Amino acid sequence: MNTARKSTSIFIPEPDDWRSFDIPLEAAAGQKRVRVYITSYGKAGTTIYLDNIKVYKASPNLIINPYPNPATDAISVDVIMEGESNVQFDLYNTLGQKILSGSKFEKTSFTHQLATNTLQSGIYILTVSTSNQMVSKKIMITR
């Protein structure tokens, strides 16, 4: 992994060392069992670290995965969608009041960060929507 720092001690990845990517598995659709083999080809014998692996059912639907949940200072939202769209992020309190709002134009899958460091402890509803789809998830903030 060319992003890793040179070190003679045990390597512990930092946030900038990670990369996210999707691996399409359409060829495995309908199979009862599937094995995924991930390998790396390089000259230095680099070790590969895998973390936070998610397997999603292929569908044209909007899929969101907010984490960590509960959160403290920030929450990451994995968004999976087909095509490209303006994506709206809204966070509501339990009274239905909009607390945070934002949007961005994206293509297919991406991760979006929401700062939650100014929010009080409690339960919130995160709504992510595109031009034709909307998904909501419960979020918990702890202090």
Strand stretches in the chain, DSSP E: 63-67, 74-80, 84-93, 98-107, 110-115, 122-129, 134-141
- Residues 6 or more apart in contact with residue 71 via CB below 8 angstroms: 116, 139, 140, 141, 142
Whether the per-residue pLDDT at 130 is higher than 50: the answer is: yes
User: What was the pLDDT predicted at 123?
Assistant: 94
Residue 33 in domain: yes
Residue 10 in domain: no
Q: Tell me the HSE value of 6 on the side-chain side, using a 13 A CA sphere.
A: 1
Q: How many domains does the chain have?
A: 1
Q: Give the pLDDT mean for 95-124.
A: 91
Residue 42 in domain: yes
Residue 134 in domain: yes
Identify the CATH number of the domain in which residue 131 sits.
2.60.40.1930
Residue 39 in domain: yes
Confidence of residue 115 (pLDDT cuts 50, 70, 90): very high
Residue 82 in domain: yes
User: What was the pLDDT predicted at 1?
Assistant: 44
Q: What percent of the chain has pLDDT over 70?
A: 76
User: What was the pLDDT predicted at 3?
Assistant: 53
Q: Which domain holds residue 77?
A: 15-141
Residue 123 in domain: yes
Residue 3 in domain: no
Q: Please state, rounded to an integer, the average pLDDT across all residues of the chain.
A: 81
